[in-house]
Chains A and B, each alone.
Chain A
Amino acid sequence: MSTVFIALQANEDTRPIIDAIALDNPAAVINRQPAMVKIDAPDHLVIRRETIEDQLGRAYDLQELQINLITLSGNVDEDDDTLTLTWNS
């Protein structure tokens, strides 16, 4: 098992996104640090557009994540609906 992670700036844009990530990834651990939030998960993390849209109450393009992204770790795959991070697949 290895840790994948994604870190986002701590701001109003990312609050609902972080909530969505927590909903979709029960194994994820949310670490709040000065000005940033780092989300760790064992081997796999998925970010779903639909869950973010539910939290946000508007349509969302997953590429908007680029704006508030700080860093990530794991093999990335992105399409219109999901962004996944994986180790050891």
Chain B
Amino acid sequence: MDMKATKKKLGMKERYRALTRDLGWEPSYQDKDAIFPYASYEGIKVHDWDKWEDPFRLTMDAYWKYQAEKERKFYAIIDAHAQNNGHLNITDARYLSALKIFLQAISPGEYAAHKGFARAGREFPGVGTQVACQMQAIDELRHAQTQIHAMSNYNRYYDGFHAFADARDRIWYTSVARSFFDDAMSAGPFEFMIAIGFSFEYVLTNLLFVPFMSGAAYNGDMATVTFGFSAQSDEARHMTLGLECIKFMLEQDPDNLPIVQAWIDKWFWRGFRVLGLVSTMMDYMLPKRVMSWREAWDIYGVENGGALFKDLARYGIRPPKGWDDAEKAIDHMSHQFMLGLYQWSFGTSFHSWIPSDEDMDWLSAKYPDTFDKYYRPRWAHIRKLKAAGTPFKNYGLARLCQCCQLPSVFTEPDDPTLTCHRETVYKGEKYQFCSDGCMDIFNNEPEKYIQSWLPMPALFSELGGDVGAWMNWVSLRDGVDNGDYDGSTDQQHFNEWRGLATSNL
């Protein structure tokens, strides 16, 4: 092999050290605290910033080279998808509801992560940290752009994709993801890293990007698999940054432990609630399913999260406070979410539906302890109502949790027949919560969460309760973008076009 001659003069470790050393000068005419004013107010004590190294030791030249390669791969497939009727190759247009939720709620989260890491890259004093955060800021921008670009092809043919930016800012269910990122971005840089890099990325995004994207492949959606795996290839680096951040804080000073643990408790629960929507995407919205939400949780939550917290036990870290409640919710949440989405489908810019007999048999096989007992009877009742011409619609507005902003559709951890509801009074005002986890978060920082913009109260304070005006405001076309999939234009178009594509009529 002739590669010996072109071998770089410095090894990977030396190259990385040279990069970080040369960027890390000591300021001479400005005070360090004035340059990095946000580094200390959260109470995290750091004695030696040089101890933070990126274990991948990625230098800028390598970063640009491999990111460019990822983009070339991505666009080759996106072009092929657009050129080969990719919009007809999906298993069923029901599947698109999952993509619509992704585009309206998750892609804007990528953009928010971009902004957050750009800021963190400026606010951390350590050079290794600055470089890794700045790379991640560029990655997250790439994720937002490639996702919007990949899904724009579906927008030419299907409803509900056209106004994702309005949906992001205004529609009720997207405020769940938006409030998560706003909460993280309005925290200090260390808490931001725990929120996004550790809890969201290390502990939870595997559930979103790995089994769900594998599911996209199974459903013939090459566009989504491609952006999903392309984004996830950066995610390995992001997760590692999150884990390094945790270890760094814990190794720097023992006083950091209680602060870090409290952030892990908070952000695990916040992330678990946001990603709960993925449970429904996996169990109900993929026409062909790779694995159930429960199976995915066993691999990426129980096994992987368990391994992580066992490894961190040497620093005194214990699993997050909400860990047991999360486990108790796993066999229920996808059903509770889907029942919620179906009853409020007049207000969603995607379709929901009643699962077919075949779908329900799959669900009872995957959820032997819960589906037939608690959820099949409800779907059977809803189906009967639909057949009678009186479909089940809930035109009342959902009671939202002041913390996670989800409607309180979940049940008590130990009683799946009782809706979970918590309430607290702060400065004479009443606040509602979906769970103990969310109420605890509020009680720790009430002054932050009383400022939350909640979509249901806003409907009254900003639009006088006029649902039609609200639909215009969020760019939701009644009877087109919303409601039951059965009878929708998406369903009609998919069937017609698929027929045209496979015959010569």
Contact = CB atoms under 8 A, between A and B. Distances in A.
A73 B57 CA distance: 17
A73 B210 contact: no
Given A66-B236, A68-B233, A75-B247, 7 more contacts: A36-B210, A38-B210, A66-B58, A66-B70, A67-B233, A71-B236, A75-B311
Contacts of B217: 34-36
B56 interface: yes
B432 interface: no
Interface in A25-54: 33-36, 38, 53
Interface string A59-89: 1000110111111111111111000000110
B214 A87 contact: no
B173 interface: no
Contact of B239 (A59, A68, A71): A71
Interface residues of B, number: 41
Contacts of A53: 1
B215 interface: yes
Contacts of B310: 2, 87-88
Contact of A3 (B55, B225, B304): B304
Given A63-B58, A71-B236, A78 B307 contact: no
A17 to B, nearest CB: 14
A67 B56 contact: no
Given A35-B217, A72-B236, A9 B229 contact: yes
A86 to B, nearest CB: 9
Contacts of B236: 66, 69-72
B55 A76 contact: yes
12 contacts: A2-B307, A2-B310, A3-B304, A34-B217, A34-B218, A36-B210, A36-B214, A66-B237, A71-B210, A76-B55, A77-B55, A88-B310
Nearest to A78: B56
B229 to A, nearest CB: 5
Interface of A: 2-5, 7, 9, 33-36, 38, 53, 58-59, 63-64, 66-80, 87-88
A49 to B, nearest CB: 11
Given A33-B290, A68-B233, A79 B214 contact: no
A76 B13 contact: no
Contact of A73 (B1, B73, B308): B308
Interface of B: 1, 3, 11-13, 55-58, 62, 66, 69-70, 73, 206, 209-210, 213-215, 217-218, 225, 229, 232-233, 235-237, 239-240, 243, 247, 290, 303-304, 306-308, 310-311
Nearest to B240: A76
B154 to A, nearest CB: 19
Contacts of A71: 206, 209-210, 232, 235-236, 239
A35 B211 CA distance: 10
Given A59-B1, A75-B243, A78-B12, A7 B66 contact: no
Contacts of B233: 66-70
Contact of A78 (B55, B69, B70, B229): B55
A86 B239 CA distance: 15
A68 B104 CA distance: 27
A2 B302 CA distance: 11
Contacts of A80: 11-13
Nearest to A84: B55
Contacts of B225: 35
Contacts of B58: 63, 66
Contacts of A36: 210, 213-214, 217, 229
Contacts of A74: 307
A76 B56 contact: yes
Given A34-B217, A36-B210, A67-B233, A2 B306 contact: yes
**5 pairs of A and B residues whose beta carbons are closest in the complex:** A59-B3, A2-B307, A35-B217, A76-B55, A34-B217
B213 A35 contact: yes
A89 to B, nearest CB: 9
A58 B4 CA distance: 11
A35 B306 CA distance: 26
B307 A73 contact: yes
Contacts of A58: 1, 3
Nearest to A6: B236
A7 B233 CA distance: 10
A48 B214 CA distance: 27
Contact of B214 (A35, A69, A72): A35
Nearest to A11: B73
Contacts of A7: 210
Nearest to B55: A76
Contacts of A88: 310-311
Contacts of B13: 79-80
A85 to B, nearest CB: 10
A63 B237 CA distance: 12
Contacts of A4: 307
Contacts of B12: 63, 78-80
